[in-house]
Structure 1
C-alpha cells in the first residue's frame, strides 16, 4: 500500500498552498483533486485577474461563530507575506480603485500567474488530478484513504475541499461529510457573497432596470456597505449587495440608500429653487441614471413638477431615497455564490494549527471551515493563512 506523510484533499488555493509548507522539511505529500485542472476558482476569480488578497485583511472582516478564531492564522501569515511571495515570482499587481480605499489587490496579468506560482511552490508534492476520493478511515495509527478505488496510507490528512459554492465547477459537501464522520460539528451552511432575488411585485419595477448600476449604501441587520449596486432581471447584485448577503437572513428586509454621502432633500430643494417647473422625473434624473429616475417617479407616484412639492413632501421623498426598504425572497444560491457561509465548527479546531482537537493528524483549512471573509480578496487571504498554519504544523513533525 502506498504511504505518504500527508495527503491533502483539494488542489485549490488552500490545498496547494498548504503543500508548499508541508513539504519544506522533506516530508512526502500527496495532493489530490477530482477536477481535471488545479485551482479553477483561482483561475476565474477577479474577472480572470485574481483578487488575491486585501490590504486591510483583519479578523473584523470575517464572519464566524467565533469571531476571534482567525486572528492567530491571519497574524502569522499576513497579506504582506503573500505580497512578498509574489515579488519573488516577479508577479506584478495593482490596487483596484485606490481612491475608494477598499484595498483590493489584483494581478496586472492573468490569474494563471498565481496558479503557476502555487504549483511551483508545491513542486515537492505529488499532485494527482481526476482522482475520486472514496472511503476514509483511521486504523488507530494512520488514515487510509481510498483514491480511485485504491487505498493509500498517510499520517496526516488535510481537508481543503472548499464549500458548496459554484457546483458546476465541481464543488461538493465532501469536507463536511468527513468532519461529520470523525465527530466534528458542522454548522449550517448557506450561500454567501451572492445576488439577492425578489418576488414578482418588486420585480415589476426592478427587472426593467436590469443592467443599471450606481453607488449605494446597502444595509442588512445593522451592517452596511458603500459600493456599487446593480439591478438584474431577478433582483439586485453588485458588490454592495454581495457584501450584505453574508449578513442577510431569509425573511429579513434590506435598506438601500440610493444617495450615500449626499443630502437628497437639499439637492431637490436647490433644484426646485432654480428649476421649479421641471417634472419630478426630470428632477430625479439630475441625481440618478435616467431609467432609474423614471422607475422611482412611477414607484413613488410622483406627479406634477418640483414647484408643486412642499418642503415636507420633498423631505418625505428624500427619506425614501435614503432609506428604500426592500424584502428579498431569496438568493441566487450556490450556483453563483462566491463563498459558503458556515462549515466546520472552529470550536473543534486549533486556531494555531487548524488540527482537529479530537482527531490528531486531521486538519481543515480554507472555505470548508466556518470562516468567511468579505468580498475583495479576504477569502483568499484566509486560504493562504489557514494553509500556512496547517502546513507549518505538519512540517514541524518532520
Structure 2
C-alpha cells in the first residue's frame, strides 16, 4: 500500500497546479494518470503554443448553472498570479488578440514550468496508472483507498482533476463523473462545447463550396453574440466565432450570422448611388468581402439576377433583401462535430455540491473536484486554462 496525504487523479493543467501548491505546503502528493504522458491537452492547445490565460478575466467569461461559483477562486488566483509564475521562468509570450496570451515558442514551455513546480514540491507523478476502484477507508487515518493497475494507494485527500469528455483520442473519459455519482454528487447535462458546427442539405453544400474561406462576422444565438472570425469547412462552420457561440447554442437553436458586422449594406448602397458608381454591386462588394464568398453567397441566396442590375435600378425592398441576406443569415445547425474536436465539455459536476473556497464535496469529506470536470466552462481565449490554474491552486491550499 502506497500512502500519501493527497492523491490527485489527472495530470492535466488543474491537477499539476494543485499538486505543486499542495506539495509546497509540505503535503506528500501523488498524481496518477492513465495516459502515457502528462499534460496532453496543454501540449496541443493554441495550435501548439498554448493560450495559457487572458489579460481580462472575470466571472462574466464563464458559463455555469451557478454563475457565482467561480468568483472566489478567480479572485484568489488571478491571471496576474499565473503571469507572475511564468515570468519567474522567463517564459517568452505574446498577446495575440483580445488579451489572449500565447507562448512565443511551444506549449511545452508551460508544461515544463508546471513540472518544475511539481518537482520543487516533491510531487510523485505516475503515468499509465489505471484506477480500478475508489472506496472509503479508515485505515491508518486515511479516508480513501484506490485500487489501481500499479497497486493499492491510500490518502487523506483525494482530488478529481480528470477533465471532461472532450477529445477522447487524448485519453478523455467520464471517470470523474462516475466518481461524483458514486459519492452522491449531482451532475449537470454535459455537451461538447467550443466546437465547430455541422450542417446538412443546401447549407452544407454552401459551406463545402466555401471551405477554407475565413472572414470577420458577428455570430448570435440565445441573446449572446461574438464578433470574431468565421471559417467555412467541409462539414459546416468553425473559427473563433463559431466556437465561442457554441458555448451558448443548444440543438435546435437558431444561429444568426452578420457577414458585415462593421458596416450597413443599406448605407453603403446609398453611398454608391450618390457616388454614381457604375460597377456591378457584386464587384463593389469585393471591397468588403472575399470574392469567392460573394460569388457563392449570391447564388445560394438567389440574388444572381439582382446583382446584375445597376444600383440606380434597385428598389428599396431589393436593397433590404440584400441587407437581410448579409446581415441576418439565420440557420439551424444540424449539430456539432462533438467531443472528437471540442475544446471543452459544457456542464459537469453540479457546483452546488462543492465548496467554492476549498473545492471539497459537501457530501464526501476529503473528496475534491477541480478544473473542467466541474460545471464551469470558460469562453475561448485562455479562460479555461485560467480556471484550471485558479481551481487547482485554491484546492491545493486545503488538501
TM-score bracket, normalised by the shorter chain, equals: over 0.9
Match of 1:270 in 2: 271
Give the CA deviation at 1:275. 5.6
Give matches, 1:359-398, under 5 Å: 359-394=364-399
TM-score, scaled to structure 2:
0.95
Correspondence for 2:117 among 118, 121, 134? 121
Give matches, 1:195-344, under 5 Å: 195-274=196-275, 276-302=277-303, 303=305, 304-305=308-309, 306-344=311-349
CA RMSD between the two structures: 1.2
Distance 2:280 2:262 in 1: 25
Give matches, 1:80-91, under 5 Å: 80-91=80-91
Distance 2:366 2:253 in 1: 41
Deviates more, 1:28-37 or 1:337-346: 28-37
Give the CA deviation at 1:264. 1.1
Deviates more, 1:328-337 or 1:274-283: 274-283
Give matches, 1:91-130, under 5 Å: 91-97=91-97, 102-123=98-119, 124-130=122-128
Match of 1:178 in 2: 179
Correspondence for 2:357 among 352, 355, 367? 352
Distance 1:358 1:203 in 2: 48
Distance 1:326 1:278 in 2: 31
Distance 1:300 1:202 in 2: 11
Give the CA deviation at 1:380. 0.2
* Deviation beyond 6 Å, 4+ runs, structure 1: none
TM-score, scaled to structure 1:
0.96
Give the CA deviation at 1:174. 0.4
Answer whether contact 1:65 1:370 (CA < 8 A) is retained.
Answer: yes
Give the CA deviation at 1:279. 3.1
Is 2:30 aligned against 1:30?
Answer: yes
Q: Which digits, 9 at most, give the CA deviation of each residue in 1:210-254, with x for residues without a partner?
A: 000000000010000000000111111110110000100100111
Match of 1:17 in 2: 17
Deviates more, 1:142-151 or 1:48-57: 142-151
SS of structure 2 residue aligned to 1:23: helix
Answer whether contact 1:268 1:283 (CA < 8 A) is retained.
Answer: no
Answer whether contact 2:129 2:150 (CA < 8 A) is retained.
Answer: no
Give the CA deviation at 1:261. 2.1
Give the CA deviation at 1:295. 1.4
Instruction: Give aligned pairs, total.
Output: 390
Distance 2:333 2:356 in 1: 36
